Amino acid sequence: LGRMLTFLPQFCRGMNYLHENKPAPIIHRDLEPSNILRDDSGHLKVADFGVSKLLTVKEDKPLTCQETSCRYVAPEVFKNVDYDTKVDVFSFALIVQEMIEGHPPFSAKHDNEVPQAYATRERPPFKAPSKHYAHGLKELIEACWNDNPAKRPTFRQIITKLEAIDNSFSHKKRWKVRPLKCFQNLEAMLKKDHSSASSRSSSRSTGSL
């Protein structure tokens, strides 16, 4: 989990760069695990821009499951409506949940059934033990796949939230170790003091004979 919290902000910075692109934001529209690559230096990269588009470019028809990975696509993409960069935020939520749950969203459903599930506000259930979700991460996922795109955070906001979650997780992890280490140090000190006291007592006894 700690490694995941380290890698996710890297990915989000890449997406934030696309979304804050000038003169117009770039929408990826096909984010899925296979499109997130790690280079030799360990940094995450976003790949496959086959169906990406500029926010300002209008389309005559919505995307289909033949053109994109519909299991990770926001419901508004399949409708004949305007949408923005928040569709990538929706996909991000599903990817993060899959990383924790260990299987694709709605793995029991066929690909063509998943968009309808999203359209009716159904979301993949959280089944992994709660300890697998750092405090605040589950709430962030739920915010990112909100049915209302306007209520989904931007990637810039997600980065800030992830950094706070990581800091909290790392702090708790340290405190889980430190009390034990401090206790061990205290035990060593007590043993040392006891040994010194015994030695002094023995010396006094020897000196009195």
Active site (catalytic) residues: 30
Tell which residue, 50, 31, 1, 53, has the closest CA to residue 155. Answer: 31
Q: Which amino acid is at 57?
A: V
Q: DSSP character for 60?
A: S
CA distance 28 to 83: 12
- Decide if 138 contacts 69 (C-beta within 8 A): no
CA dihedral in degrees (156, 30, 147, 138; nearest 10)?
A: -60
Tokens 């002094």 belong to residue: 200
Contacts (Cβ under 8 Å, ≥6 apart) of 114: 70, 71, 105, 106
- Contact between 118 and 74 under an 8 Å Cβ cutoff? The reply is yes
